[in-house]
Amino acid sequence: MFKGLRQIHRIYVIFIIVLFFVLLFPFYYPLSRKPSGYGLLNQLRKFHSWVCSFFTGIFFRFHYEEKLEANRTYIYCSNHTSNLDIMILCLLAKGRFHFMGKDELLKAPILRLFFKTIDIPVNRDSKMSAFRAFKRAGENLDHGMSLIIFPEGKIDETHYPPVLQSFKNGPFRLAIDKNISIVPISISNAWKKMWDDGRKYGSRPGICDIYIHKPISTKDLAGADADLLKDQVFDLINSKLVTL
């Protein structure tokens, strides 16, 4: 698709996302006020992601190594190359779930509603912010609420095509501490449809392939195994990525 058309498509994608957010806001807002509404809130986020996928022509094809249990609590760990990744994880996650992401999202017009309520913002440069964020995430996990996290910490804007960056330790220590299985996720080619927020290369319709690896149990692991677990998840995610 020509560059000009890709930029037009990007503008259309933003319009669709904003349009349905506005239409759903009368439902989003009251459900976000109390944890008792978070289940329905997540169902709306799934619907929002699905309808945006339908109208923009960007579709998601999920490849499961093993079926995930609907009522089981997981920590979903995925690579991060595109703003589409949030839609992808909303559609993928089972049961009750929440995201952890950079605190800059508190300034995002749409995402700030969620990061002020159900989701967890974290300042990557503050150890205290990280401590508080993972403490809250641990409490949510204790209450059966799965965590979605991008262990790279951010989208790397210096490499195109994208290269998987080193992972933070936090989610792997948390998984071991809480005895929660990790689900490694390889979003292989979403960056080809929209890299980062699309400002540089625009976006285009097509199919994004997502590979969901078999959950990794942390039952028999100790805190000292966090680095080995991190390396295992990194290698699994990287094994299914498309960089050409």
Q: CATH no. for residue 73?
A: 3.40.1130
Q: For residue 90, list its beta bridge partners.
A: none
Mean pLDDT for the chain?
95
In a domain, 201, yes or no: yes
Distances, alpha carbon 111 to alpha carbons 15, 38, 145, in Å: 15, 15, 19
Give the pLDDT confidence of 94-107 residue by residue, as tens digits: 999 999 999 999 99
**Separation between Cα atoms, residue 137 and residue 133, nearest integer Å:** 6
Residue found under tokens 């503050």: 126
Q: Give residues with Cβ within 8 angstroms of 44, minimum separation 6.
A: 24, 27, 28, 31
In a domain, 122, yes or no: yes
In a domain, 244, yes or no: no
pTM equals 0.94
171, pLDDT greater than 80:
yes
Percentage of residues in the chain having pLDDT higher than 90: 90
244, pLDDT greater than 60:
no
1, pLDDT greater than 90:
no
Domain that holds residue 66: 3-239
pLDDT at 2: 77
Q: For residue 232, list its beta bridge partners.
A: none
DSSP strand pairing (58-64 vs 120-122): unpaired
**Separation between Cα atoms, residue 136 and residue 121, nearest integer Å:** 10
Q: What 3-state class would DSSP assign to 75?
A: strand
Instruction: Give the number of domains in the chain.
Output: 1
148, pLDDT greater than 90:
yes
Distances, alpha carbon 140 to alpha carbons 1, 99, 235, in Å: 43, 11, 28
pLDDT at 47: 98
